[in-house]
Each structure stands twice: as C-alpha cells, then as structure tokens.
C-alpha cells in the first residue's frame, strides 16, 4: 500500500529502467530465469522501494482489479461512471492499453477508483529491503565514511553476491504462512488508553485554551481503540449548524455483534455518529442538532459523548424522540 501523499504513482525514469534491464546482463541467474519475485529489484537498484513495488503491482494487476471493482460495485450498489482507465496491462499481448470501463470515480478529481481485496493490504511487501538489511546483514558490505553500511553499499554488494539475496528469498518463502494482511487500524495499548482518559478528565469544559479541540482529539483516539474491532473507525469530521462548528466521530457499523445488528436493522444505521460535546451540560439545542443529523446514511441512532449524564429534561427529550420518530440517542 503506497504511502505517497497524493496516492498517485509516478513512472520510473529512463535511468532507473536501464538499471533494471542491466541486471539481465550482469546477473546470469536473472538472465536465465528472470525474477521469481519482482520485489527482488529493490535489492539491486536504487530508487526502488516499497512505493515502487506497490506501483508495479498495481500496474500489472490493474486488469484483475477492474474486474474485481465492477463485480463489487454491482453486488453492493456502488455508483459507477464510464471512464478511461489508462495503462492496463494486457497479459496476452504483453502491452499496456487504455480501457473504457464502468468504475467509481473520485468526486473531486473525477479520477477512476479501483478497489482492492482487504486481505491483500500490507504496509510493507513481504520481501522488503528493511527486513533484508536486518535479517541478512553481511560483514562483507564495506562501511561508509561514517562507519555505517548505507543502502547503496548494500545494493552494490548484492549485485556481486546474488546468493545472499537468494538465501533471503528462500527463507521468506518458507515463512509465507506468516504473510498476513496488515490491519488498517491498530488500537493503542491499555497504558496509553488510561493516560488518554486521564487527559480527558483533566481538561476543563468549554472552549478556553482550545480545550474543546483537545477533548475531541483525545476522545476520538480513545474511542477508536476501545470500540475496535467491533466498530471500524471511519473519520473525525466537522460540520456547521447555524455558524457553530460541531465535531462528530463516525464509525462504520460492521454488524459484528447481535447488538450492532439490532442497531442496523432497527435504526438503519450503517454508520454510527458519536457527537463530542465538551460542555458542562447538554442543552436542548444540542439534542436538536443531533436529531437533525440522524437521517439518510447515518440512520436514526446517535451517541452523545460528554461530561455528565443528561439532565432530566434533556433525557425526556431523547425519550420523546424515540417515542415519536423512533430515533435513539444515548449518552456516554
């Protein structure tokens, strides 16, 4: 999974391409058999790392990803548009061609979007330079002026000692059962969660000294961990109600428990809204704001995260909302 800020891969230059092709002349094993794993390129050529490997993989698999995306969109009702997807590798002709297909698009840039199976996602390739450097460290690599062995020195050594790379690849192949997809979210440890809760309790209510922002950030980090993996953290987003900035924590309801299934079936909540209120007391306008927000794709179930239990009058307001339009608001 690439880490570039723009999420757009860039083509390699002529110099890097020639360096890769030169390997077929310099290394007899590659000349005879090619690359068993094209991730090996990063062990011989500068400027080839995890992002480049991700780019290569996406280019070569683009035809499959188009099929996967169109099938998933058909099954789940995801809107699509007819667009041109450039540089799709044709496995028959071994050429890159542009294809006109029906896939989702980025609403801001209109660029085509392709879906990827979640089970594929890793932050690092299974064969990666950092792991190679740590696990296959060799004394034969000469240190640089600062006494350390840098990447370029290791790449040069590998080109003259291909067996070292082969041994590393074989060792990783033997452990391929350990190659699992990386979780897209990792909860914070219990110790940090306790510190985060202490931070929240120590903050004053209101907006003085940005207390509301600090409260929102700390609560979002804490809840994302406490509710994982039963609820998937989606986003901390802002919205405006009558000139007032309101912060909401959004979770995807993956219906992993009977309770969450009931929320989905009873209140049509595919996503669950947690409204973060660093106030001394929840008032009627707060209840009305959340009430207006509980519609459409957010369903009719919402949560206040605030300092104190609701006053009796506000609790009665939430009961009235359940009795009438069947909206459920609970307070944490």
Per-residue model confidence as pLDDT tens digits over 246-300: 558 888 898 989 999 999 999 999 889 899 999 999 999 999 988 988 877 789 9
When mean pLDDT is compared across 60-64, 109-113, 199-203, 243-247, the lowest value belongs to 243-247
Distance (Å, rounded) from C-alpha 121 to C-alpha 180?
8
What pLDDT was estimated at residue 102? 96
Q: Please, which residues have CB within 8 angstroms of residue 84's CB and are 6 or more apart in sequence?
A: 98, 99, 100, 112
The number of angstroms, rounded, from the C-alpha of 253 to the middle of its chain's C-alpha atoms is 17
Task: With CA atoms as reference, report the closest residue to 210 among 220, 238, 289, 218.
Answer: 218
Residue 63 predicted with pLDDT over 60? yes
Q: Residue 234: pLDDT band by 50, 70, 90 thresholds?
A: low
Q: If you average pLDDT over every residue of the chain, what do you get?
A: 87
* Dihedral of the alpha carbons of 6, 12, 13, 14, in degrees to the nearest 10: -170
Task: With CA atoms as reference, report the closest residue to 112 among 8, 246, 231.
Answer: 8
Q: Residue 133: pLDDT band by 50, 70, 90 thresholds?
A: confident
Distance (Å, rounded) from C-alpha 254 to C-alpha 156?
49
Distance (Å, rounded) from C-alpha 184 to C-alpha 229?
11
pTM of the predicted model as reported, rounded to 2 decimal places = 0.61
Bridge-based pairing state of the strands 328-331 and 301-305: parallel
């Amino acid at each position: 999974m690439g880490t570039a800020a723009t999420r757009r891969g860039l083509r390699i230059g002529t110099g890097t391409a020639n360096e890769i092709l030169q390997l077929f002349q310099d290394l007899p094993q590659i000349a005879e058999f090619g690359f068993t794993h094209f991730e090996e390129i990063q062990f011989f050529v500068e400027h080839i790392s995890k992002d480049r490997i991700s780019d290569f993989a996406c280019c070569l698999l683009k035809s499959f990803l188009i099929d996967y995306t169109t099938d998933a969109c058909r099954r789940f009702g995801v809107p699509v548009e007819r667009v041109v997807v450039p540089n799709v590798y044709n496995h028959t002709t071994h050429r890159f061609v542009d294809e006109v297909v029906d896939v989702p698009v980025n609403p801001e840039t209109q660029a085509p979007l392709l879906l990827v199976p979640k089970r594929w996602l890793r932050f690092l390739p299974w064969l990666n330079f950092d792991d190679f450097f740590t696990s296959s460290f060799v004394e034969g690599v000469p240190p640089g002026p600062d006494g350390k062995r840098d990447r370029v020195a290791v790449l040069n050594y590998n080109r003259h000692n291909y067996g070292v790379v082969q041994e590393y690849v074989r060792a990783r192949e033997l452990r391929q059962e350990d190659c699992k997809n990386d979780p897209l979210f990792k909860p914070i440890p219990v110790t940090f969660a306790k510190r985060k809760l202490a931070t929240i309790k120590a903050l004053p209510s209101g907006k003085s000294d940005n207390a509301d922002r600090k409260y929102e950030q700390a609560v979002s980090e804490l809840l994302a961990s406490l509710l994982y993996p039963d609820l998937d953290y989606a986003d901390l987003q802002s919205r405006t109600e009558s000139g007032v900035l309101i912060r909401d924590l959004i979770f995807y309801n993956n219906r992993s428990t009977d309770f969450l299934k009931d929320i989905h079936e009873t209140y049509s909540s595919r996503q669950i809204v947690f409204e973060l209120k660093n106030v001394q007391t929840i008032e009627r306008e707060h209840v009305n704001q959340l009430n207006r927000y509980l519609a459409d794709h957010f369903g009719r179930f919402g949560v206040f995260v605030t300092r104190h239990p609701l006053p009796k009058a506000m609790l009665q307001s939430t009961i009235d909302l359940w009795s009438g339009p069947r909206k459920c608001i609970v307070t944490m």
